[in-house]
Structure 1
Amino acid sequence: MSSKQKDVAQQHEERLNSGSGTSKMSSWLWHRTKPYTPPWIVTGGVFAAGTGANLQWEGAPWAGVGLTLASVGLTAATWWAGRSSGPQRRLHSAITVAAGTGWVTAAALSGPLTGPLPDLYLMGGAALALSWNIRQVMRTSAPEGSGAEADKGLLEKVGLARTKLRDVKVEPNRVTVPYELPAGELTNDDVAKAIPRIASALDVPTTAIRVQHDPDSARKGQFVIVPEDMLKDATRWPGPFAPGQSVAVPLRVGVYDDGSDLVLPLLDAIHMLVMGMTGSGKTEGALDVMFELLTRKDVAVWLADAAKGGQDFMPLVPAMDWAALDSASAAAMAATVQAIIPIRAAWLRDHAYRAWEPAAAEKQTDPAHSCRKDGTACGCYGLQYLVAWFEEAAKLLREMGEDTFTGIAQEARSAGVTLVISMQRASGYQLSTDTRASLPAAMCFGVRGDDAGFALPEEVLDAGANPAAWGNKRKGYVYLVSAGVDEDLYANPARTFWTGPSGEYEKAAAWIVSEFAAVRPELDTVTATAAEKVAGQMFTSRRERAAGAPLPAAPALAGSEEEASAQEVAALVDTEDAEHDATAEIPAAAGSAALPAAKPSPEEARELLDEMVRMLASVGPGTVAVKNLTPYLEQIGRDRSWVSKEMKRMAEEGRLAATGEAGVYRLLPALAAA
């Protein structure tokens, strides 16, 4: 109540309290009963109207017809006029008008004191008048500042004046309030901007308020308010959601704030970006996804974690089909994924699959999915779904370039491959815009500042999603945006499962590795053969490398650069050539002309070397070694020492990638495209 209203009420009370006792009591009674007199006055007016109508039209049949039509018309008009009010008030008003006009019509034709009309008037009129008095008492006895007036005041404070609130739906820890903005004055964008002020007015965190816009209107929608954070206590991993079933069944990885399951429909998501700052629970979410994947029967899991060497995933590595835990293996995996896409896509095409489906992983006994031209069942072994997960991918992107995953993301959908890129900050400096646009799904954990815009669509942020409010203070809190997930849930906070403290997590991982070893078959032949051809030893020795088996020692660098290079070349010389000087100029072959006196210039020699490297890498396993160039040294006009130094320079410039084996390099996609 405003100060002006308080002053008026105080003056009125003073007037009531002045004068004699009798007059004071009469004034008080009149003051208290006056607001409830209108229904009784209307009731008296109905009797007067019925009496007057009887004197005018008693016994007139046409008057009866006219009064009946007028009664029906007034009742319909009352129902129509009440469409903007609540359903109870609308119904109450229509019943009152129908009863009053019906009695007047009967009284006009028969007389107000005929038959049961007097009793109906006294009982019905009094009951209707009292019903309106009761309604008024219930309305005026509500606490001050509540109801529509309080709502109106709150909306005015937050800049949404004249906004209409519809029927409020109250559920346990959840309030849904439909709204309608004034036409031509406000839009749903204004509602999104007002969320922080609404949260302040209600004294709740901004993440407790979401807005669900009506897709068919720019000024309608509903507020969803969750006053209590039900995610404060982490939920322990409850076990696999669909053990032994297909990866086509969504993966359960956590819970929403209303207690419902947080599920990731992987085949709908296609490719996914996982983003969150250090300590936000990003790795815990990755473990939840891995727990689900490694309990399914038709999915192959490839993990690259060069940044931390698979530190968090080691207990699960034995169940994975390929774990690349160093830079060389991770680079090889990225190149392999890109290379096998057309091979897998061709297999699906030849077996009449427009996209991967669970039947593609089984033995092909259906003639409708046969690669034979005669239409009979081919009996080919199936093709597993492939998930290539690149953990802490920022390091790999720095080494291989920001366009590393662009081709994979744009082409892998038709090949039954899901690409997952996990990193702390997917800015344009680390992940190209084209690659980010090709990752339609996102799991966004706590971030700093405006970083959420790198992972979440603008409309989700406008609806109230705010992972920056958590930072790394709410471990495991996440927003999931993906095809196959209800869009109304995009702005709803969720929390991934907790896999338990150290010791319990290892036990759960060991149980998954042993329990589902028989469920998960070996990597399908199509993918394995292609990977072996592309990655070579990096793939065939993947188990040993993941287990930490010793790798070939790199040559020691001592003395001058020429001496170090000579030692590297010597390490690559075959046993049968050990007696020859590997650094000497190549003599002219017997029976052939000697080398020309004028050797190619350094620029020409480098161009020839580039051409040879591209040629060898394209026809081989994707790698090239110094010793592979021995047959071409005469054409280049240089010796092995020079070739070794030039290839090392190309690696430093980012055109080749070291593989971890002395003198062996991998051709990067950028150079291959050239």
Structure 2
Amino acid sequence: MRRRTVHDVMGRRNKTKQTAAGAQVVHVETDSSRLSGGWLLVHGLPLATPGIGCAIFAILIVLAHAQWGGDPVWTPLLSILFLLIGALVTFFAHLSAGPRMLLRVLMVVTGSLATGSLVLGLVVGMGAIWPAYILCSLVVWVLWGIWRGTKYAGATPTADGAGNPLMEAIKQAKVQFNNPTVDERGVVRATVETLSGGTLENARALMPMISAEARAVPGSTNLAGDLDVDGRGVVEIATRDNLKHGVPWPGVSGIGSLPTEPFAIGEYQTGPCQVQILGDLSKDRRAPDIKHLKIGGVTGSGKSTGARIFLASQLVKRRLNIIGIDLSKGLQTFGPFAHGMTWVITNEEEARLFLHRLKHVIKGRNNHLTSEKLMRWSPTSSLNVLEIWVEESKEFRKFQTLYGDLVADARSAGIFFVSSTQHWNYRNVSTDTRANHGAAIMFGVESYENAEQILPKDALAALGKNLQYWGANKPGYCYVTGLSIPMNRWGSMLRIYDPTDEQLTEAVELGAPHRDAMDPVTAHLFGELFTQRTRYPRSIWGATSGQDATATPAPAAAPQAPPAAAHRDPDTTAPARWPSTPTLTDDEQEMTEMADDETAEEREAMYEALRTSRRRHLGEDAHPSDLADVDPEDVISGVIVGPDTDGNEGDDEPETPRPSTEEAQRIWDMALDDWYREGRTTVRTADLVELLANVQRARKFLYRQTERWEQLGCVAPRPDAAGWDLIASPMQTTTRT
């Protein structure tokens, strides 16, 4: 019995029958009617064509001899002409036969015998050559019969694929498909092996043709190379779309597990897709480390649904703290499970302070891991994994430079970044930041340029010409790379689970007994920025009075040393230092950004005018510090720097003793601490100028003090050059360091 090939399964897919609903292999039935009249007409009639052609050619020879035979002029001329024409036709027929030896022999023999018979018949007539002509006709007829028989014998493709374009292409690619099977989900699988001179790249180039031949689901054809042996692989082809009507979420699993345990986020055509954010270093020294995740796709492609299923699956785990940032949609994405997240940030001012503070948190966590003799996070550490989920917004683009610096350093500190945005081009994200996101989920895009900015090169190579662009027409479909998914699955399309709001809320409740509070080291590093965050003690999804209706405030507490061990989140909550920001439309956001840009331009113009005025009035007496010490706020606020605060002290002795440097520094620290406890978020130059009189210092003291506060992580320069963001109290950071 001849071994079945992949063509047997796919080429006759519409003429197959399954033995049972759960059958693993589809058996191909034989075609009992192939010797019917239709078969004889299509494949039998061509076998008689050479005989008919020889009879017609004999009649032409007889007519030619009767017309020009015996003529002293036309006979030799036509003989020479027929010889030349016959030789040229035979030569070109030989070339057109290509590498097929039997066809080349057939063309040469047929052309030579036809030319010789025509010339001899023209000269001497058919009566003298008819025995030889009949013999030559029989030879040609037999050769044509052999050719037709090898091409169409049995009305099925032969082993070398002659007569079938797909099998011809497979032969030319020098690859072989063996052992095809079809499972109950309609997925065809076959092993792939390269022959001498062939590569898997040649096999991948055949995937679009194979997909069309099998009438496969678009984008479901995948050739996964063997990770251990080159030149081998497995091809999967879904002949029906098992994901067409959506994939209901079966619910959370792994309740109370560590963040090192995998969880399912969707299904391939062949089964569930399991992802894992990092491996367990305590069990395997080669366990995979954190790879930041980038999520891309057009509006309506399913990014928000993907975020919900990803986060809800993690809210049942312990040793994991999740912080969400969404400055555009507020709580539309995080709403069903905001009360289960450690921290939710929807205010731009709070997000800026958080990111500035995170630089010092990363450094502090790295130092703590070093003290535990760990090069990266492990379940043996006292720290929790920190996951920071950033949803796309126009406001967050202002922090891209700072975000890029944080992403580059966060992995070693056990911090996992997830960023979701429509476009990952250079206008939104730098090349380095994009490269630092080693994992990717690509939902629907509209061009190859969008895809190559999201997927790694290995995934693009695996997909080849089979890469699909569906935009928002197939929400939920996506490609996933990284996240501990084997590379040979990167080219397989899947569909994200579609959870209900009740399932998301239930996941939060099921995980409540197991979720850990922020570990004391990280909480202490964030300081009052963390203790004064907005908390959601219960579900806000569906609340009619807005997000603040369920946010429970509590009096702010003074910073204190961290407890010895971390357990669960306390029942008390701290008030938000930032008022809730209403969700704006895209037009309103764009108008706000334009207004901010105009304000910044006007402020810069004022700066330049003040610098020019200083240069014109001071002339050669100007010092660099004079030209740099220009702040429009000093002029606008009406603060006039006295003679003792501009660097030129008078002759009169101060009424009170001039404090020492340490005392002056302590006075300023106490003032900044008071502002921080009052809930202020910004410090302007005019505020600090007023403090100079209290410590009897010049402007140089202001510069040195602000630089010291920046190093401590207390303040950070504002992007609009309007002072500093107040992040933490210097009294708290001094105690910590």
Task: Give the TM-score, by structure 1 length.
Answer: 0.58
Tell me the amino acid that sits aligned with residue 430 of structure 1: N
Alignment of 1:234-273 (within 5 A): 234-267=246-279, 268=288, 269-273=290-294
Distance 1:3 1:178, change over 3 A: farther
Q: What residue number does 1:296 align with?
A: 317
Distance 1:163 1:348, change over 3 A: closer
CA contact (8 A) 2:343 2:533 kept: no
Q: What residue number does 1:156 align with?
A: 168
Distance 1:270 1:539, change over 3 A: farther
Secondary structure of the 1:424 match is: coil
CA contact (8 A) 2:313 2:507 kept: no
Distance 1:159 1:624, change over 3 A: farther
Identity within the alignment, %: 23
Q: For residues 515 and 664 of structure 1, what CA distance do their matches in structure 2 show?
A: 43
Alignment of 1:66-105 (within 5 A): none
Q: What residue number does 1:429 align with?
A: 427
Distance 1:216 1:519, change over 3 A: closer
Q: For residues 215 and 510 of structure 1, what CA distance do their matches in structure 2 show?
A: 40
Q: For residues 218 and 580 of structure 2, what CA distance do their matches in structure 1 show?
A: 56
- Does residue 518 (structure 1) correspond to residue 573 (structure 2)? The answer is no
Q: What residue number does 1:630 align with?
A: 690
1:420 to 395, 406, 418: 418
Shift of 1:181: 4.3
Alignment of 1:338-349 (within 5 A): 338-349=359-370
Alignment of 1:370-381 (within 5 A): none
Q: What residue number does 1:583 align with?
A: 638
Distance 1:262 1:229, change over 3 A: farther
1:509 to 501, 504, 527: 504
Secondary structure of the 2:364 match is: helix
- Does residue 460 (structure 1) correspond to residue 459 (structure 2)? The answer is yes
Tell me the amino acid that sits aligned with residue 208 of structure 2: P
Q: What residue number does 1:656 align with?
A: 718
CA contact (8 A) 1:409 1:419 kept: yes
CA contact (8 A) 1:301 1:387 kept: yes
Q: For residues 12 and 174 of structure 1, what CA distance do their matches in structure 2 show?
A: 46
Q: What residue number does 2:532 align with?
A: 540
Shift of 1:141: 9.7
Distance 1:279 1:385, change over 3 A: same
Tell me the amino acid that sits aligned with residue 583 of structure 1: G
CA contact (8 A) 2:354 2:529 kept: no
Unaligned runs of 5+ in 1: 15-139, 361-381, 566-580, 597-612, 640-653, 668-674
Shift of 1:477: 1.2
Deviations 1:308-364 (A, max 9, x none): 11222123112211111122222233223332112111112212233222232xxxx
Secondary structure of the 2:264 match is: strand
CA contact (8 A) 2:187 2:239 kept: yes
2:307 to 286, 310, 323: 286
Shift of 1:273: 0.9
Secondary structure of the 1:166 match is: strand
1:445 to 443, 446, 459: 443
Q: For residues 50 and 157 of structure 2, what CA distance do their matches in structure 1 show?
A: 22
Tell me the amino acid that sits aligned with residue 190 of structure 1: N
Deviations 1:185-228 (A, max 9, x none): x5333333343333333333441211123456765434321211
Distance 1:664 1:479, change over 3 A: same
- Does residue 210 (structure 1) correspond to residue 222 (structure 2)? The answer is yes
- Does residue 665 (structure 1) correspond to residue 725 (structure 2)? The answer is yes
Shift of 1:527: 0.7
CA contact (8 A) 1:166 1:179 kept: yes
Q: For residues 207 and 635 of structure 1, what CA distance do their matches in structure 2 show?
A: 69
Tell me the amino acid that sits aligned with residue 294 of structure 1: L
CA contact (8 A) 1:253 1:264 kept: no
Shift of 1:552: 6.7
Secondary structure of the 2:512 match is: coil
1:330 to 351, 356, 364: 351
Tell me the amino acid that sits aligned with residue 512 of structure 1: A
Q: What residue number does 1:191 align with?
A: 203
Shift of 1:589: 5.7
- More displaced 10-residue stretch of structure 1: 581-590 or 202-211: 581-590
Q: What residue number does 1:9 align with?
A: 47
- More displaced 10-residue stretch of structure 1: 545-554 or 410-419: 545-554
Secondary structure of the 1:149 match is: coil
Tell me the amino acid that sits aligned with residue 462 of structure 1: A
Deviations 1:129-188 (A, max 9, x none): xxxxxxxxxxx997645876379631435894554333324333222233344534x533
Deviations 1:618-640 (A, max 9, x none): xx999750124533487459x9x
Task: Give the TM-score, by structure 2 length.
Answer: 0.54
Secondary structure of the 1:463 match is: helix
Tell me the amino acid that sits aligned with residue 656 of structure 1: R
2:338 to 307, 317, 321: 317
Tell me the amino acid that sits aligned with residue 499 of structure 2: T
Q: For residues 332 and 265 of structure 1, what CA distance do their matches in structure 2 show?
A: 27
Tell me the amino acid that sits aligned with residue 207 of structure 1: G
Q: What residue number does 1:165 align with?
A: 177
Distance 1:302 1:146, change over 3 A: farther
Distance 1:383 1:459, change over 3 A: closer
Deviations 1:46-84 (A, max 9, x none): xxxxxxxxxxxxxxxxxxxxxxxxxxxxxxxxxxxxxxx
Distance 1:469 1:160, change over 3 A: farther
Shift of 1:472: 1.3
CA contact (8 A) 1:276 1:445 kept: yes
CA contact (8 A) 1:211 1:224 kept: yes
Q: For residues 319 and 530 of structure 2, what CA distance do their matches in structure 1 show?
A: 24
CA contact (8 A) 1:248 1:266 kept: yes
CA contact (8 A) 2:221 2:238 kept: yes
Tell me the amino acid that sits aligned with residue 196 of structure 2: A
Secondary structure of the 2:190 match is: strand
CA contact (8 A) 2:161 2:168 kept: no
CA contact (8 A) 1:452 1:468 kept: no
Secondary structure of the 2:179 match is: coil
Q: What residue number does 1:388 align with?
A: 388
Alignment of 1:47-62 (within 5 A): none
Q: What residue number does 1:134 align with?
A: none
Distance 1:238 1:164, change over 3 A: closer
Secondary structure of the 1:260 match is: strand
Q: For residues 214 and 254 of structure 1, what CA distance do their matches in structure 2 show?
A: 24
Q: What residue number does 1:410 align with?
A: 408
Shift of 1:524: 1.2
- Does residue 473 (structure 1) correspond to residue 473 (structure 2)? The answer is yes
CA contact (8 A) 1:324 1:546 kept: no
Q: What residue number does 1:529 align with?
A: 524
Secondary structure of the 1:342 match is: helix
**How large is the Cα RMSD of the aligned pairs?**
4.4
